[in-house]
Amino acid sequence: MSTVGTVRRKVVPVLPTTEGLAETARPMWKRGQVLAAVVVVAVVGLAEGWLYSQSYYGSLGVPTNDLGISPTDMVVQGARCLLPLTGAGVGYLLAQAGWDQRPVAVGVVLYAGLIAYLAYVERLLTGPEIAVQSASVLVAGTIALGRSHGFGRTATQGLALVAGLLLVLVLLPVVYGGQDAVSFEGTSKTDLRIVSSRDLGIPDATSDGSSYVYSDYLLVRETDSRYWILRVAHPQSVYAISRSDVVSVRY
C-alpha cells in the first residue's frame, strides 16, 4: 500500500516594481501638453472675442477699427462664448469614468438644461442666445462622446468633427454679438448727458445759446479720442463726438 504525499506550495506575492509604480503614477498630461492646451484656449478665446466685437459693433453700425478694443476686452467676451464648449468636457469626463453612451448623453442634456436655466433666471442671455447656447453644449458633448468611443479615426469622420466644432466656434460669437446689439438698441432709458460748446450737427440737441446738450442718446463706447453714441429708438443712428468738443459728460 503506497502513501501519496501532499505537496504544499508557498505562494509568494509579486510586488510591483519601482518602474511599474512610476508608470502608474505618470500624469495623464505632460507639462508641454498642458502648456499647449492653454495657448490654444487663449488663442481661440481671442478669436472668439474678435468675432463677437465685429458682430456687436457691426450690428450697431460702428466701425471697429477705431474703437480701441483691447485684448482683455476680447478675452472676456471670448470666455463667455467658450462657456458652452464645457459640454465637451462634461461628455469626455463621463465617458472616461466608464459610463455608457446613453447615461453620458443624459448627463450632457442635463448639463445643457442647467446652464440654460441659470442664464434664464439670472437674465444673462436672451431667448435666442439661450437656444444657441444649449444647442452648442449638445453639439460639443456629442463630439466628445463620439471621440471617446472611437469616432473620428477615419478622414471623413475627422472632417465631420472639425466642421461641427468650427460651426459652433463661429456661430456663438456672431449670435451673441448680434443679439446683444438688438437688446442695446431696444434700450429706452438713458442718463447720458453730453455738453458741447458748439453745435455738432447731431439731432435732438437743446441749447441755451452758449452750450449744446445731447441727452437722448446711449453711450456705445468711449475711447481716448471720442464718444460713440446711439440715438434712442433709432437703430443704426450712431454718431461720434470728439473729446475736444465736449465740455462735460454725465453718465
Residues 99 and 161 in one domain: yes
| Residues linked to residue 248 through DSSP beta bridges, in sequence order | 195
Residues 162 and 51 in one domain: yes
Residues 222 and 128 in one domain: no
pLDDT, averaged in runs of 10, over the chain (251 residues):
52 50 50 79 91 94 86 89 87 83 89 91 86 90 83 85 88 93 90 92 88 93 93 89 93 87
CB 239 within 8 A of CB 231: yes
Residues 197 and 170 in one domain: no
Record the pTM. 0.77
CB 40 within 8 A of CB 9: no
Residues 139 and 215 in one domain: no
- The grid coordinates of residue 245 equal 468738443
**Domain ranges, residue 116:** 28-185
**Is 6 within a domain?**
no
Q: Which of 134, 150, 185 is the last residue of a domain?
A: 185
Residues 67 and 135 in one domain: yes
Q: H-helix or E-strand containing 226?
A: strand 226-231
Residues 40 and 154 in one domain: yes
Q: Which of 185, 212, 233 is the last residue of a domain?
A: 185
**Is 22 within a domain?**
no
Residues 201 and 132 in one domain: no
